[in-house]
């Protein structure tokens, strides 16, 4: 059995054959022509059994590869936990097409103060003075270091919900 299998071989059970090779028969083709119908059917069933085994080994290799990739990815993931009162900054993602993106635009928005702790969502109050025109979602919030001892007061009526993934 080969180490690698092509998708064509997994679906149809045989490798693809060029028309030139069909015109010049190989040894196996010449031997199969001289076989009786029962012998040919027996060989075909054996090939189908080996095809199932080949598909199973390919599936096992795929699952092994996926688990290796998952482990490698999980090594790089940093677990972050935020509590009520923490200051975070959110990634600015362009949601609407009305805003123009340029290299001089800020990449982060905030600071935000986390008010309550939920399982999959964090509720935050906006503390900066800029107006917010489009909703934003955050994928990688960064904790802000408090440079001053005062906590900025949240702007009234500007509560936003952000989802931390």
Query: Residue ranges of the domains in the chain?
Result: 7-76, 87-163
**Higher pLDDT among residues 161 and 51, named by residue:** 51
8 A C-beta contact, residue 115 and residue 161: no
Q: Considering the chain, what is the average pLDDT of its residues? A: 68
**164 pLDDT above the threshold of 70:** no
Residues comprising the chain, all counted: 165
**Average pLDDT for residues 81-105, to the nearest whole number?**
75
3-state secondary structure of 129: coil
Average confidence (pLDDT) over 115-124: 58
- Please give the order of strands across the beta sheet that includes 108-117: 142-143, 87-91, 108-117, 121-126, 159-163
Does residue 26 or residue 74 have the better pLDDT?
A: 74
Q: Which of 119, 135, 127 is closest to 152 using CA atoms?
A: 127
What is the model's pLDDT at position 4? 73
What share of the chain has pLDDT > 70, as a percent?
53
For residue 22, what pLDDT is reported? 55
Helices (H), 7-142: 7-12, 19-23, 27-33, 37-76
Q: How far apart, in whole angstroms, are the C-alpha atoms of residue 127 and residue 107?
A: 17
Q: Is the pLDDT of residue 122 over 50?
A: no
CA-closest candidate to residue 82, choices 53, 30, 37, 119: 119
Mean pLDDT of 132-158: 44
Q: Do 127 and 112 form a contact (C-beta atoms < 8 A)?
A: yes
Report which of residues 146 and 69 the model is more confident about.
69
Comparing 59 with 142, the larger pLDDT belongs to: 59
């Amino acid at each position: 059995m080969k180490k690698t299998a092509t998708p064509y071989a997994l679906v149809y059970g045989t490798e693809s054959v060029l028309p030139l090779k069909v015109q010049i028969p190989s040894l196996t083709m010449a031997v199969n022509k001289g076989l009786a119908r029962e012998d040919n059917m027996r060989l075909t069933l054996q090939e189908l059994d080996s095809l199932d085994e080949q598909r199973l080994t390919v599936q096992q290799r795929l699952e092994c590869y996926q688990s290796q990739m998952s482990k490698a990815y999980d090594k790089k993931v940093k677990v972050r936990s935020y509590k009520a009162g923490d200051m975070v900054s959110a990634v600015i993602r362009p949601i609407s097409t009305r805003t123009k993106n340029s290299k001089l635009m800020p990449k982060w928005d905030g600071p935000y103060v986390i008010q309550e702790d939920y399982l999959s969502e964090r509720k935050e109050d906006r503390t900066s003075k800029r107006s917010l025109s489009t909703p934003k979602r955050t994928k990688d919030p960064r904790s802000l270091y408090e440079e001053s001892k005062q906590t900025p007061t949240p702007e009234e009526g500007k509560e936003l919900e952000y989802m931390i993934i």
